[in-house]
Amino acid sequence: MAEPVKVLVTGAAGQIGYALVPLIARGHLLGPDQPVILHMLDIPPCMDSLKGVEMELLDAAYPLLRGIVATSDVVEAATGVKVACMVGGFPRKAGMERKEVMGKNVSIYKEQAAALEKYADKDVKVVVIANPANTNALVLKEYAPGIPNKNITCLTRLDHNRALAQIAQRVGVPVINVKNVAIWGNHSSTQYPDVNHGVVKTAEGVEKSIREAVADDEWLNDEFIKVVQQRGAAIIKMRKFSSALSAASAVCDHVSNWIKGTAEGTWVSMGVFSDGSYGVPAGLIYSFPVTTKNGEWEIVQGLPIDDFSRAKMDATAAELVEEKALADSIIKE
């Protein structure tokens, strides 16, 4: 069997962390033949809680889990990791200004980025989950310039999966029968879930475009988009906690596709550095449809973009430009 791979989860004592670490230990991130050593980071006040998670991981007797580091020491957490799932962050609380929250996250990401750059594996693959995920990923790059752009991503796979699920429910087919939706832009309520290139295999086994299978453009152009954009808030309202189960599952989908590749003819959505494709300002971390192969992602090129989509893609880009400017102003202070 392969040598164990070290995987970092920051914010491991939190909601998503608690849902994510058992999936990693079961092989859902790196595959059923890949032993792992879990590095779990949280802040000092959460150490008892993190210790409790460690105790449960031991009690679960996962065959693939070959070691656990549970720590509040950023250097210890970052050392030797090949995959970094950045879940920890400072949430926006009622009455807080955006700048204040961004300031707290900039200081968190500054320290963690510097540790990753210095102590992680040279080819570490990073996925930022903590919000504002796209901009946190940019901040991470700012303080870890040695980590290549192509290795820094943010999670929009949950939004992608939510879009697939909505279409599957509407058409009445298993979710596996739907593919090639795209999430464009920010992991926020301005994201644009795009069905124009997607395909559904109907119950009769016939492949149709999503628009043809759903046969309700009004729903697709309005309610569907809003449901996907606001799904996170809807779940918080019902559960009183974040969508931790589905976020953790999406992290595994994101990383496992990144490493093992996407199926022929299928793409997924990932927040990645824009190279200017589709007129998106270069240098933003923006969610694009991507294919992956041999551990590398590539933006799907040549999709036709209509005026409706263009306006939505530009609006979410404008929000990211604004977030970047805010982060830059904090970084320069």
Q: Which of 285, 300, 299, 298 is nearest to 153 (CA)?
A: 285
Residues 30-69 that bind ligand NAI (CB under 6 A): 41-43, 46
From 273, 294, 296, select the one nearest 285 (Cα to Cα): 273
DSSP letter for each residue of 18-60: HHHHHHHHTTTTT-TT--EEEEEE--GGGHHHHHHHHHHHHHT
138 near ligand NAI, judged by CB under 6 A: no
Member of 58, 63, 73, 91 binding ligand NAI (CB under 6 A): 91
Beta carbon of residue 265, minimum distance to ligand NAI (angstroms, whole number): 25
Q: Which residues are catalytic?
A: 187
**What distance in Å separates the CA atoms of residue 196 and residue 181, rounded to the nearest whole number?**
7
Q: What is the DSSP letter of 271?
A: E
Residue 233 marked in a binding site = no
CB of 2 to ligand NAI, least distance (A): 28
Tokens found for residue 329: 């102003």
- Neighbouring residues of 255: CB distance < 8 A, sequence distance ≥ 6: 29, 30, 83, 85, 125, 127
Instruction: Kindly tell me which of 49 and 209 has the beta carbon lying closer to ligand NAI.
Output: 49
Residue 13 labeled ligand binder: yes
- Shortest distance in whole angstroms from residue 1 CB to ligand NAI: 31
Residues 184-223 that bind ligand NAI (CB under 6 A): 187
225 is annotated as contributing to ligand binding: no
DSSP symbols for 223-256: HHHHHHHTHHHHHHHHHSS--HHHHHHHHHHHHH
Among 85, 214, 228, 244, binds ligand NAI (CB under 6 A): 244
Q: Does residue 231 have a known ligand-binding role?
A: no
- Residue number, 41 or 113, with CB nearest to ligand NAI: 41
Looking at the Cβ atoms of 43 and 305, the one nearer to ligand NAI is 43
Residue 89 interacts with ligand NAI (CB under 6 A)?
yes
Which residue stretch of 165-173, 241-249, 298-306, 319-327 sits at the interface with ligand NAI (rule: CB under 6 A)?
241-249
Binding flag, residue 108, ligand NAI (CB under 6 A): yes
Nearer to ligand NAI by Cβ, of 41 and 290: the residue is 41
Sequence-separated (6 or more) residues with CB below 8 Å from residue 268: 157, 160, 253, 254, 257, 262, 289, 290, 291, 292
Q: Is 92 annotated as a binding residue?
A: yes
The candidate with the shortest Cα–Cα distance to 210, out of 163, 246, 254, is 163
CB of 253 to ligand NAI, least distance (A): 11
Residue nearest to ligand NAI (CB): 14
Strands 178-179 and 152-154 turn out to be unpaired
Tell whether residue 16 is a contact of ligand NAI (CB under 6 A). Answer: yes
Q: What is the 3-state secondary structure (H, E, C) of 151-189?
A: HEEECCHHHHHHHHHHHHHHHCCCHHHEECCEEEECCCC
Strand bridging mode 83-86 / 125-128: parallel
Q: Which of 30, 102, 158, 300 binds ligand NAI (CB under 6 A)?
A: 158
Q: Find the shortest distance in angstroms from Cβ 281 to ligand NAI.
A: 21
What residues line the site for ligand NAI (CB under 6 A)? 10-11, 13-17, 41-43, 46, 87-91, 108, 129-131, 133, 155, 158, 187, 232, 242-244, 247
Binding-site residue set: 11-17, 42, 92, 98, 105, 129-131, 162
